[in-house]
C-alpha cells in the first residue's frame, strides 16, 4: 500500500512538472480548433492600435463565453507570450511583455485568442494586429481623481501613475489638507521637477503650491488654469470667477460659467504677479493660457460677454458665449508683450474654442471645441481638433466619440497625446492615449491600462486633467500637505480685476473648477 | 482533595452558566431591541458606510495596506448585520472575544477571578451599538489587540531579547492588521512589563521603541500632522459624534486602566512576584471549601444583572432607533407601517424629516389631501431643499433624492445622488437609485456600471445581476412599470431651478406632464400649507385629470374656507363637496364666531377640529400652530 502511494505521488509530481514546463516554455498546443473569421470581443478594446514600447501590459477580458482561454502574444522577435486561463481575464506577465515590446519596436504585435466552449471544442478568433511604436510615451502621468462633483466634495486627490507599471502614488490628497479642493496641476515641458497645484480651502484660503525638486513652497494666491513658460521662469495663469448651475432636464446635469476671468503671470524668481491690459479687458473673458514651446507666443481663449443681470445664474445668453482662440507674442528677456491677435475666430468655426496646447516640437496645436461656454467636459459635443501650425489648417480628429473628449496633453517627444473621454460609460472620464505621427495623423486611442482589466467597470471616480510627465514627481505628499498647513505663503500682490478671488474664505458651494 | 476539586468544578460550572446566561441575554437584547438590521439600513444615511466588495481585487487592495485587513473583516461582518439574527450573533461572538480576552489578561496580571469586571467592556460595546453607529471596526480591532496581548504574555520568556523581539513581531503584525489598536497592545505590554513583572528595562525598551515605531508608521509616514494621523489610526474619533467617541475611548482604555490599578496595588502591598491565579484563591478555598462560591457568585451575578439593565436602559437611544426605522420603512416602501410608526412618535421628536417621510407615505396611501393636517406640517418638508451644512446633510440628500426620483425631477435626483455618493460612500441604497436614474434617462451604459459595482455587494449582488441580465435583452427596460412611469413624468424642458424652489419645481413638473399626480398633490399640499386658497381654487379644473371619485377632504375644506372668506360660490367643475364636510365646517364657523378672542376659540376647538384644514388656516402663526 505504501509503495503504491509512493508511486502515485511520484507520477503526480512528474505530471505537474511536465505541465509546468510546457506552460513555461510557451508550448501549449491545441491539436484541433475551429478558425473563426470574426474578431474577438475584448475589453478594453485593445484592437488595431499603436502602442508605446514602454507601456505596462495591456491586460484585457475576453467577452466570449468559454470554459478555458488561451492567448498567444507574439511579434517578429523574442519569445512568444502564452497565457492559459480558466477565467476570461487575461493578465499578461510584465517582464515578458516588456522584453517583447522592447525587442520589436516598429513591428506588429499580434494576439491570437483561443476559446474552449462547454463541449470541449476550441475556437480561434481572428488575430488581433496591433503595432508597437518606435517612440516611447512619457513614463508617468499626473491626474486628478474625483467623483463627478456637484456642490460638495470630500475626497479629491492628485496622483501620479507609472505608465510602465501599474503603480499609482499620491501627489496630494485633499483629505490630508483639511478637505481642500486641489486642482490645476501643471508642469513646464513635461518636467516633473517643477509643479504648480491650486488649493482652495475653507480653513487655509486660496493659494498655490510650487514644488521644485523635493521642496515645496506656498504662493498666497490661487492660480487657475496654468501654463509654465518653457524657460521655467514664469507661469501664466487664469483668474476665473466660476459659477456652477444645474440643468433640470437633459443628459448633463451640471453647467459652468465664468462670470468673469482674466490672465496674470507669476515671476518665479522675483515672486511677483503681473498682468497686462490685454489680459484683463473689461468686456471679455480670458482663460486657458498655453505657451508655444519656444516661449515666444502665448495662446489663450477669449470671449466677449455682456451679462445683464449679474446676480442671475446662469446669466442671460450664456448659451451664446463662444470663445475665440487668441495669440500674443512675448519676449522673456525684456518681459515685453506684443499685441494680441485672434488666431482662430469662433465666428469662423461656429464653436467655442478652448484648451489650446502646442506640441513640444511646435508643429501642431491641439484644442477642444464645443457648442458654447468654457467647460468642455460638461458638453457631450466637445471634440478634439488639430491644427497644423505650418499651414494653419485644422480638422476634427477621427478619434472623437459622441461623448465629451477634451483635456489633452502631449508627451515630451510630441508623438503621444493623452486626453479625457467619457466614451466608456457616458459619465466618468477616463484617460486615453493616441499615437500621433509626424504628419499629424492621429491613431485609434486606447484607455490607460490597469492591472485588473475590469477595473473601469466599477471605478466610480473620474480621471481629470491628465498631464504626461517624463518621470516621477519627487516631492512627497506629506511635504505638500505640510506646506498648506504651514501658512507661510509667499505674499503676492494680485492685480485687481473683476475676477480676482478673495484672499481668505470662499464659497465652495457655489464656486466650481 | 475530592471536595476541593468538586468545589472548583462547581464554581467553574456556575461561572460558565452565568457567562452563558449573560451572553444569551446579550444576544436577545441585540437581536430584538437594537435590531442589527436597522443599523444596516442606516449605513451611509446615518452611520458611516463600511465599504466591502466581493472579489479578489478588493481583498488584495485592502490586504496590501496597513489597517486594511481590519477594514476588510469589519466591512464583511457589518454587511451581515442585514440579517438581524446573524448580526446579533456576530456582535455577541465579538463581545465574547472581548470578554474572554479581558478576563485572561486580568488573570495573568494576578487580579484573581475577576469575571464580573471583565463584563464591563462588553457592556460598553452594547452601549456603543445602542447609538446605532457602525463600530464594528472599533470592536474587532479591540478584540484583536486583547488577544494579541494575551498571546504576548503567554509567549513571554525570561530571555529579554527574545521577549522584545516577540513583542515587536506581534506589534508590527497588529499594526498592519488593525492600526491604532496596536497602541493598546503597546500600552498593555508596557504595563505588564513595568508594573506587573517589574522588568523595568524590558518595559522601557518596549515603551521607547514601540512609541518610536508607532510614531514612525502611524504619524510620520501616513499623515502630515498628528491630528490627521489620529483620525486615521482611530477611526472612531469623530468630532461629530462625541458620545460614541467617548464610549469607544473608554473601551480602549479599560484594560490598561485596570492593569495600572493592579500594578499600583501590587506596588503598595509589595507583592513582588507575579501573582498566580490559583495561589491566594486556592489557599482560602482550602481553608474553607464549603464557603467560597455561592455568596460571591450570587453577588457577582446580581451586580452584573444591575449593570446590564442600567447600561441597556440608559445608553439606549430611541431617537436614533426611530430615525433608523423610518429610513428602513421608507426604503422598503412600507407606507402604512411608516404612518403608524410616525404616529406613535413623541411630539418632541417630530421634525422636518419625519414630516417629509410622512407626507410621502400619506401620498402613496392616497391620504395626503385627506389626512395631512392631522400632523404638524412644514412647507419646507416636501423637497428638503434648504441649503445648510449641518449634521443632517447626508441624511437629507439621501431622502430628497428618492423623492425627486418619484416626482420625475430626475436631474435634481441625480445631483443629490452624486452629492450623497461623495459624502457617504458607495452604499447600495444610493447605487440602486443611480441605476434607476440612469435607466430612466436612457443611459444604460452608466446604469450598467453601477450595477457592476452592486454585483460585488455581499447582499444585493443577485438583484444587480438580475437587472444586468434584463438590460442585456432590453436596454430600455421597456416592460418595467416603474421605469415607464418615471419616464412619463420625467421633466424634458430645462429651467435651471434650484432644489429649494419648491413651488416652481412642482409647477414645472406639471407643465412637463399635467398628469404627474405626485407633483400635483405635493403642489396642492404646498399651497394648503402656505395658505394659498386662490391657487387651490384655480386648480379645481385639474381635479378631473386625476380621476378623484370624491375630492380629498382638505381640498373640500379649503374650497369652503375660500367661499366663506370671499363670499363667492366656486365652480366645482362637476365635483361635489361631501355633506358631512359642509356640516362640520358650518359647525366650526358657528362656534368660532361665538368667541371674542381668537386664541380662546382655537384652544376650545382644538380637540374637535385640529385635523381640519380650516383650523390650520385660522390659527396658523399662533402658539397653537407655530
Q: How near does any CA of chain B get to the CA of A278, in Å?
A: 33
- Residues A305/A284, Cβ–Cβ less than 8 Å: yes
pLDDT of residue A381: 96
Of B421, B426, B493, which has the smallest distance from its Cβ to A249's Cβ?
B493
Is residue B89 within a helix (H) or strand (E), and if so which, with residue range?
helix B84-108
Residue of A373, A458, A459, A509 for testing the chain B interface, max B β-carbons within 10 Å? A458
CB within 8 Å: A458 and B453: yes
Q: How near does any CA of chain A get to the CA of B233, in Å?
A: 13
**CB contact, 8 Å: A345 with chain B?**
no
pLDDT of residue B356: 93
The confidence band for A500, taking pLDDT boundaries of 50, 70 and 90, is: low
Question: 3-state SS of A454-488?
Answer: CHHHCCCCEEEEEEEECCCCCCCHHHHHHHHHHCC
Residues of B in contact with A318 (CB under 8 A): none
Q: What is d(CA B69, CA B67) in angstroms, rounded to the nearest whole number?
A: 6
Residue of B49, B240, B401, B418 for testing the chain A interface, max A β-carbons within 10 Å? B418
Residue of B229, B495, B496 for testing the chain A interface, max A β-carbons within 10 Å? B496
**Shortest CA distance from A251: residue in chain B:** B441
**CB contact, 8 Å: A4 with chain B?**
no
Question: 3-state SS of A5-24?
Answer: HHHHHHHHHHHHHHHHHHHH
Q: How near does any CA of chain B get to the CA of A267, in Å?
A: 29
CB within 8 Å: A452 and B57: yes
pLDDT of residue A507: 44
Q: How near does any CA of chain B get to the CA of A479, in Å?
A: 7
CB within 8 Å: A460 and B449: yes
CA distances from A79 to A103, A269, A459 (A): 10, 53, 34
The confidence band for B56, taking pLDDT boundaries of 50, 70 and 90, is: confident
Between B416 and A446, the more confident residue is A446
Kindly report, residue by residue over A14-43, the tens digit of the pLDDT. 554 444 444 444 557 788 999 999 999 999
Q: What is d(CA B57, CA B59) in angstroms, rounded to the nearest whole number?
A: 5
ipTM of the complex: 0.89
Please tell me the least confidently modeled range out of A456-465, A497-506, B95-104.
A497-506
Q: How near does any CA of chain A get to the CA of B170, in Å?
A: 28
Q: What is d(CA A336, CA A322) in angstroms, rounded to the nearest whole number?
A: 28
Residues of A in contact with B235 (CB under 8 A): none
CB within 8 Å: B423 and A509: no
Q: How near does any CA of chain A get to the CA of B180, in Å?
A: 18
Q: What is d(CA A470, CA A190) in angstroms, rounded to the nearest whole number?
A: 6
pLDDT of residue A20: 46
Residues of A in contact with B492 (CB under 8 A): 249
pLDDT of residue B287: 47
Please tell me the least confidently modeled range out of A289-293, B475-479, B499-503.
B499-503
pLDDT of residue B14: 63
Q: What is d(CA B402, CA B407) in angstroms, rounded to the nearest whole number?
A: 9
Show which residues on chain B lie within 8 Å of chain A, measured between beta carbons.
57, 221, 223-225, 228, 387, 389, 409, 411-412, 414-415, 418-419, 421-423, 426, 438, 441, 443, 445-446, 448-450, 452-453, 456, 490-498, 505, 508, 512
pLDDT of residue A428: 96
Residues of A in contact with B216 (CB under 8 A): none
**CB contact, 8 Å: A391 with chain B?**
no
Q: What is d(CA A418, CA A424) in angstroms, rounded to the nearest whole number?
A: 16
Q: Is the pLDDT of residue B126 over 50?
A: yes
Percent over 90 (pLDDT), chain B? 62
Q: Is the pLDDT of residue B277 over 50?
A: no
Residue ranges of E strands in A247-363:
254-267, 272-274, 284-291, 297-304, 324-331, 336-337, 341-344, 352-358
CB within 8 Å: B422 and A509: no
Average pLDDT of the residues in B331-359: 92
Please tell me the least confidently modeled range out of A101-110, B139-148, B386-395.
B386-395
Percent over 90 (pLDDT), chain A? 76
CA dihedral B414, B419, B425, B429 (to 10 degrees): -40
Core vs surface per residue B112-132: b (16+ CB within 10 A) or e? ebbbbbbbbbbbbbbbbbbbb
Chain A 133-152, residues with CB within 8 Å of chain B CB atoms? 147-152
Q: What is d(CA B247, CA B317) in angstroms, rounded to the nearest whole number?
A: 14
Q: What is d(CA B309, CA B315) in angstroms, rounded to the nearest whole number?
A: 10
**Shortest CA distance from A255: residue in chain B:** B496
Q: How near does any CA of chain B get to the CA of A182, in Å?
A: 16
pLDDT of residue B610: 92
pTM (two decimals): 0.89
Strands across the sheet containing A140-146: A168-173, A157-162, A140-146, A462-469
CB within 8 Å: B422 and A457: no
Q: Is the pLDDT of residue B271 over 70?
A: no
Q: How near does any CA of chain A get to the CA of B461, in Å?
A: 13
Residue of B48, B64, B216, B224 for testing the chain A interface, max A β-carbons within 10 Å? B224
CB within 8 Å: A248 and B494: yes
CB within 8 Å: A427 and B456: no
**CB contact, 8 Å: A216 with chain B?**
no
Q: What is d(CA A141, CA A418) in angstroms, rounded to the nearest whole number?
A: 9
Chain A 72-91, residues with CB within 8 Å of chain B CB atoms? none
Average pLDDT of the residues in B566-587: 94
Helix (H, G, I), strand (E, B) or coil at A408: strand
Region label for A465, one of left (φ > 0), alpha (ψ between -120 and 50) or beta (otherwise)? left
CB within 8 Å: B224 and A177: yes
pLDDT of residue B243: 60
CB within 8 Å: A460 and B453: yes
Of B446, B452, B494, which has the smallest distance from its Cβ to A250's Cβ?
B494
Q: Is the pLDDT of residue A405 over 60?
A: yes
Of B419, B445, B508, which has the smallest distance from its Cβ to A426's Cβ?
B445
Residues of B in contact with A155 (CB under 8 A): 422
Q: Parallel, antiparallel, or unpaired for β A336-337 and A324-331?
A: antiparallel
The confidence band for B217, taking pLDDT boundaries of 50, 70 and 90, is: confident
Q: Is the pLDDT of residue B338 over 90?
A: yes
Grid coordinates representing B176? 498592519
pLDDT of residue B400: 86
The total number of residues written for chain A in this structure: 513
pLDDT of residue A513: 37
B89 φ, ψ (degrees, to nearest 5): -65, -40
Q: Is the pLDDT of residue B387 over 80?
A: no
Q: Is the pLDDT of residue B286 over 60?
A: no
**CB contact, 8 Å: A501 with chain B?**
no
- Residues A207/A484, Cβ–Cβ less than 8 Å: yes
Kindly report, residue by residue over B459-489, the tens digit of the pLDDT. 999 999 999 999 999 999 999 999 999 999 9
Helix (H, G, I), strand (E, B) or coil at A219: strand
Owner of C-alpha cell 507661510? A488
Q: What is d(CA A489, CA A478) in angstroms, rounded to the nearest whole number?
A: 17
Residues of B in contact with A153 (CB under 8 A): 422
Residue of A249, A315, A421 for testing the chain B interface, max B β-carbons within 10 Å? A249
Q: Is the pLDDT of residue A79 over 60?
A: yes
Q: How near does any CA of chain A get to the CA of B457, in Å?
A: 12
Between B201 and B220, the more confident residue is B201
Between A436 and A307, the more confident residue is A436
**Shortest CA distance from A314: residue in chain B:** B496
The confidence band for B278, taking pLDDT boundaries of 50, 70 and 90, is: very low
pLDDT of residue B285: 47
If you average pLDDT over each of A2-6, A305-309, A382-386, which comes out highest?
A382-386
Contacts of B516 (CB under 8 A, 6+ apart): B407, B408, B489, B509, B510
Helix (H, G, I), strand (E, B) or coil at A122: strand
- DSSP lists the bridge partners of residue A131 as A50, A108
Grid coordinates representing A161? 501613475
Average pLDDT value over all residues in chain A? 90
CB within 8 Å: B223 and A452: no
Percent over 70 (pLDDT), chain A? 91
Kindly report, residue by residue over A414-431, the tens digit of the pLDDT. 999 999 999 999 999 999
Please tell me the least confidently modeled range out of A112-126, A295-309, B220-234.
B220-234
CB within 8 Å: A150 and B449: no
Is residue A394 within a helix (H) or strand (E), and if so which, with residue range?
strand A393-396
Residue ranges of E strands in A3-156:
34-35, 42-43, 50-51, 60-62, 68-74, 81-85, 89-90, 108-116, 122-124, 128-132, 140-146
Core vs surface per residue A265-288: b (16+ CB within 10 A) or e? bbebeeeebbbbebbbeeebbbbb
Q: How far is CA B70 from the centre of its chain?
A: 20
Residues of B in contact with A147 (CB under 8 A): 418, 421-422
- Residues A285/A261, Cβ–Cβ less than 8 Å: yes
Q: Is the pLDDT of residue B247 over 60?
A: yes
Q: How near does any CA of chain A get to the CA of B497, in Å?
A: 7
Q: What is d(CA B617, CA B178) in angstroms, rounded to the nearest whole number?
A: 59
SS3 content of chain A, % helix, strand, coil (to 5): 10, 40, 50
Q: Is the pLDDT of residue A509 over 70?
A: no
CB within 8 Å: A425 and B449: yes
Amino acid at each position: 500500500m505504501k509503495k503504491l502511494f509512493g508511486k502515485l505521488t511520484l507520477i503526480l509530481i512528474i505530471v505537474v512538472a511536465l505541465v509546468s514546463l510546457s506552460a513555461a516554455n510557451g508550448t501549449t498546443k491545441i491539436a484541433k480548433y475551429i478558425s473563426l473569421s470574426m474578431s474577438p470581443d475584448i475589453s478594453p478594446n485593445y484592437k488595431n492600435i499603436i502602442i508605446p514600447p514602454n507601456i505596462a501590459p495591456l491586460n484585457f477580458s475576453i467577452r466570449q463565453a468559454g470554459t478555458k482561454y488561451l492567448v498567444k502574444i507574439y511579434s517578429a522577435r523574442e519569445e512568444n507570450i502564452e497565457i492559459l486561463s480558466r477565467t476570461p481575464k487575461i493578465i499578461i506577465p510584465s517582464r515578458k511583455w516588456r522584453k517583447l515590446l522592447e525587442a520589436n519596436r516598429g513591428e506588429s504585435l499580434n494576439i491570437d485568442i483561443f476559446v474552449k466552449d462547454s463541449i470541449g471544442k476550441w475556437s480561434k478568433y481572428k488575430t488581433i494586429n496591433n503595432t508597437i511604436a518606435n517612440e516611447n510615451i512619457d513614463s508617468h502621468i499626473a491626474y486628478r481623481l474625483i467623483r463627478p462633483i456637484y456642490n460638495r466634495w470630500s475626497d479629491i486627490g492628485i496622483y501620479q501613475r507609472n505608465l510602465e507599471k501599474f503603480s499609482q502614488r499620491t501627489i496630494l490628497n485633499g483629505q490630508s489638507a483639511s478637505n481642500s479642493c486641489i486642482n490645476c496641476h501643471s508642469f513646464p515641458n513635461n518636467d516633473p521637477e517643477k509643479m504648480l497645484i491650486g488649493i482652495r480651502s475653507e480653513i487655509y484660503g486660496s493659494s498655490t503650491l510650487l514644488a521644485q525638486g523635493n521642496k515645496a513652497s506656498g504662493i498666497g494666491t490661487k492660480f487657475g488654469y496654468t501654463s509654465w513658460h518653457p524657460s521655467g521662469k514664469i507661469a501664466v495663469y487664469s483668474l476665473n470667477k466660476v459659477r456652477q448651475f444645474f440643468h433640470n432636464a437633459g443628459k448633463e446635469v451640471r453647467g459652468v460659467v465664468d462670470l468673469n476671468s482674466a490672465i496674470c503671470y507669476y515671476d518665479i524668481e522675483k515672486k511677483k504677479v503681473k498682468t497686462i491690459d490685454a489680459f484683463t479687458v473689461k468686456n471679455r473673458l480670458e482663460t486657458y493660457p498655453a505657451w508655444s514651446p519656444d516661449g515666444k507666443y502665448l495662446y489663450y481663449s477669449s470671449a466677449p460677454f455682456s451679462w445683464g443681470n449679474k446676480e442671475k445664474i446662469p446669466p442671460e445668453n450664456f448659451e451664446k458665449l463662444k470663445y475665440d482662440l487668441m495669440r500674443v507674442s512675448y519676449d522673456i528677456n525684456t518681459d515685453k508683450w506684443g499685441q494680441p491677435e485672434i488666431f482662430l475666430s469662433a465666428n469662423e468655426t461656429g464653436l467655442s474654442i478652448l484648451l489650446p496646447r502646442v506640441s513640444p516640437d511646435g508643429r501642431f496645436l491641439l484644442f477642444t471645441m464645443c457648442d458654447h461656454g468654457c467647460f468642455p467636459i460638461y458638453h457631450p459635443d466637445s471634440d478634439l481638433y488639430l491644427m497644423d501650425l505650418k499651414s494653419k489648417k485644422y480638422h476634427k480628429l477621427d478619434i472623437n466619440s459622441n461623448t465629451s473628449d477634451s483635456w489633452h496633453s502631449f508627451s515630451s517627444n510630441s508623438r503621444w497625446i493623452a486626453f479625457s473621454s467619457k466614451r466608456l460609460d457616458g459619465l466618468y472620464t477616463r484617460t486615453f492615449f493616441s499615437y500621433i505621427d509626424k504628419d499629424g495623423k492621429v491613431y485609434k486611442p486606447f484607455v490607460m491600462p490597469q492591472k485588473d482589466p475590469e477595473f473601469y467597470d466599477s471605478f466610480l471616480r473620474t480621471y481629470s486633467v491628465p498631464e504626461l510627465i517624463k518621470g516621477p514627481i519627487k516631492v512627497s505628499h506629506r511635504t505638500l500637505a505640510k506646506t498648506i498647513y504651514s501658512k507661510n505663503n509667499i505674499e503676492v500682490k494680485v492685480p485687481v480685476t473683476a475676477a480676482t478671488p478673495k484672499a481668505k474664505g470662499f464659497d465652495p458651494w457655489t464656486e466650481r473648477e | 482533595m475530592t471536595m476541593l476539586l468538586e468545589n472548583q468544578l462547581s464554581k467553574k460550572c456556575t461561572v460558565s452558566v452565568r457567562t452563558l446566561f449573560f451572553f444569551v441575554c446579550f444576544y436577545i437584547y441585540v437581536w430584538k431591541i437594537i435590531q442589527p438590521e436597522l443599523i444596516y439600513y442606516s449605513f451611509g444615511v446615518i452611520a458611516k458606510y463600511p465599504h466591502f466588495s466581493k472579489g479578489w481585487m478588493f481583498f488584495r487592495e485592502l490586504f496590501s495596506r496597513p489597517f486594511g485587513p481590519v477594514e476588510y473583516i469589519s466591512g464583511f461582518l457589518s454587511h451581515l448585520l442585514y440579517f438581524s439574527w446573524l448580526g446579533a450573533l456576530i456582535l455577541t461572538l465579538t463581545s465574547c472575544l472581548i470578554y474572554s480576552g479581558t478576563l485572561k489578561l486580568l488573570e495573568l496580571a494576578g487580579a484573581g477571578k475577576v469575571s464580573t469586571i471583565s463584563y464591563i467592556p462588553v457592556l460598553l460595546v452594547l452601549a456603543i451599538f445602542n447609538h446605532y453607529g457602525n463600530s464594528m471596526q472599533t470592536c474587532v480591532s479591540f478584540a484583536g489587540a486583547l488577544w494579541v496581548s494575551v498571546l504576548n504574555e503567554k509567549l513571554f520568556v525570561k530571555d529579554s531579547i527574545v521577549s522584545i523581539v516577540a513583542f515587536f513581531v506581534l506589534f508590527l503584525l497588529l499594526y498592519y492588521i488593525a492600526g491604532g489598536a496596536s497602541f493598546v497592545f503597546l500600552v498593555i505590554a508596557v504595563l505588564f512589563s513595568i508594573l506587573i513583572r517589574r522588568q523595568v528595562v524590558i518595559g522601557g525598551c518596549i515603551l521607547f521603541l514601540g512609541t518610536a515605531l508607532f510614531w514612525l508608521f502611524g504619524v510620520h509616514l501616513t499623515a502630515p500632522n498628528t491630528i490627521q494621523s489620529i483620525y486615521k489610526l482611530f477611526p472612531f474619533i469623530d468630532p461629530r459624534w462625541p458620545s460614541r467617541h467617548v464610549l469607544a475611548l473608554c473601551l480602549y482604555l479599560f484594560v490598561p486602566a485596570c492593569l495600572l490599578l493592579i500594578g499600583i496595588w501590587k506596588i503598595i502591598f509589595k507583592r513582588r512576584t507575579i501573582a498566580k491565579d490559583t495561589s491566594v484563591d486556592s489557599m482560602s478555598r482550602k481553608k474553607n471549601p464549603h464557603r467560597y462560591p455561592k455568596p460571591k457568585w450570587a453577588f457577582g451575578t446580581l451586580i452584573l444583572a444591575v449593570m446590564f439593565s442600567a447600561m441597556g436602559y440608559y445608553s439606549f437611544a430611541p431617537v436614533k432607533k426611530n430615525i433608523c426605522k423610518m429610513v428602513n420603512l421608507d426604503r422598503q416602501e412600507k407606507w402604512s407601517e411608516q404612518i403608524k410608526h410616525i404616529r406613535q412618535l413623541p411630539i418632541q421628536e417630530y421634525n422636518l424629516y419625519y414630516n417629509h417621510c410622512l407626507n410621502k407615505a400619506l401620498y402613496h396611501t392616497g391620504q395626503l389631501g385627506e389626512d395631512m393636517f392631522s400632523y404638524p406640517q412644514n412647507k419646507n418638508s416636501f423637497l428638503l431643499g434648504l441649503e445648510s451644512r449641518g449634521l443632517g446633510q447626508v441624511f437629507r440628500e439621501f431622502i430628497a433624492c428618492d423623492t425627486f426620483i418619484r416626482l420625475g425631477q430626475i436631474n435634481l435626483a441625480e445631483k443629490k445622488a452624486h452629492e450623497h455618493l461623495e459624502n457617504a460612500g458607495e452604499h447600495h441604497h444610493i447605487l440602486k437609485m443611480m441605476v434607476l436614474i440612469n435607466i430612466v434617462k436612457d443611459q444604460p451604459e452608466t446604469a450598467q456600471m453601477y450595477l457592476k459595482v452592486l454585483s460585488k455587494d455581499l447582499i444585493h449582488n443577485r438583484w444587480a445581476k438580475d437587472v444586468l441580465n434584463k438590460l442585456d435583452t432590453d436596454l430600455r427596460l421597456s416592460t418595467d412599470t416603474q421605469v415607464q412611469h418615471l419616464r412619463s413624468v420625467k421633466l424634458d424642458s430645462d429651467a435651471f431651478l434650484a432644489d429649494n424652489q419648491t413651488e416652481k419645481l412642482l409647477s414645472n413638473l406639471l407643465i412637463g406632464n399635467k398628469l404627474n399626480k405626485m407633483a400635483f398633490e405635493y403642489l396642492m399640499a404646498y399651497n394648503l400649507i402656505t395658505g394659498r386658497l386662490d391657487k387651490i381654487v384655480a386648480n379645481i379644473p385639474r381635479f378631473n385629470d386625476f380621476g378623484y371619485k370624491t375630492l380629498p377632504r382638505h381640498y373640500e375644506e379649503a374650497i369652503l374656507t375660500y367661499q366663506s372668506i370671499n363670499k363667492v360660490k366656486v365652480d366645482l367643475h362637476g365635483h361635489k363637496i361631501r355633506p358631512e364636510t359642509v356640516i362640520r365646517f358650518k359647525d366650526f364657523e358657528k362656534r368660532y364666531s361665538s368667541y371674542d378672542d381668537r386664541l380662546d376659540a382655537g384652544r376650545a376647538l382644538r380637540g374637535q377640529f385640529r385635523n381640519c384644514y380650516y383650523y390650520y388656516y385660522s390659527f396658523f402663526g399662533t402658539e397653537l400652530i407655530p
